[in-house]
Amino acid sequence: MPNQEDWEQQYQEKNTRWDIGQAAPPFVSLLSSDSAPLPGRMAILGCGRGYDAVLFAKHGFEVTGFDFATSAIVEAEQIAKSENCDIQFLQRDIFDLPEEFTGYFDYILEHTCFCAIDIERRLSYVEVASSILKPHGQLIGLFFTHNRPGGPPFGVTPEEIREYFQDNFKIHYLNLVANSVASRQGEEHLGLFELNK
């Protein structure tokens, strides 16, 4: 499984195929819709270069981005500065976050983090999300629901996502999106999950 050094090497070598170079179009659509979430304190897990972080910061969210790779954090800080956005980026292993941020966030934003972790750690991811959210906090997730072998990114079905999250979260919706980037057409589901407690 890729470790911190592996992810850092990917950034050093500019081998970041998951990086679409912009905020995810489904998030752009969500924020311009009638059902846009109200601004609050948001954690972005596996934030990469921070394009989604910039998008939500510009819509009034207080954003903290977390990533394993130091280079991702450095580049995200540079991009945020160029966009005049005040965002905190921290180099962290997401599985350590409950020690530091228990019950701290109103929202978690998920985009290409869940698919990058070892399949055996998916329930641990759910526990992390549950731990760092405030009561009835929400997870907004754009899940990569492909079925190609191997990984990362590891495939997952919408049914499996529901199974992973349903014990801890109320699933408001988990829908196939129509405006994914071309390389992910038909392979992304946007979900809104609310912490049960």
> What is the rounded CA–CA span in Å between residue 179 and residue 92?
31
Q: What is the pLDDT of residues 29-39, one digit of tens each?
A: 999 999 999 99
Domain boundaries, the chain: 25-30+39-148+164-177
Residue 92: pLDDT band by 50, 70, 90 thresholds? very high
Average pLDDT over residues 91-96: 96
Query: Does the reported pTM lie above 0.75?
Result: yes
> What is the rounded CA–CA span in Å between residue 104 and residue 173?
24
Given this model, what pLDDT does residue 17 score? 57
Neighbours of 1 (CB within 10 A): 11
Q: Taking a C-beta distance cutoff of 8 angstroms, is the pair 128, 121 a contact?
A: no
Q: Which of 43, 13, 32 is nearest to 113 (CA)?
A: 43
Q: What is the pLDDT of residues 159-185, one digit of tens each?
A: 999 999 999 999 999 999 999 887 778
CATH of domain 25-30+39-148+164-177: 3.40.50.150
Given this model, what pLDDT does residue 16 score? 46
DSSP per-residue codes, 80-121: HHHTT---EEEE--GGGTHHHHTT-EEEEEEESSTTTS-GGG
The position carrying tokens 């999300």 is 129
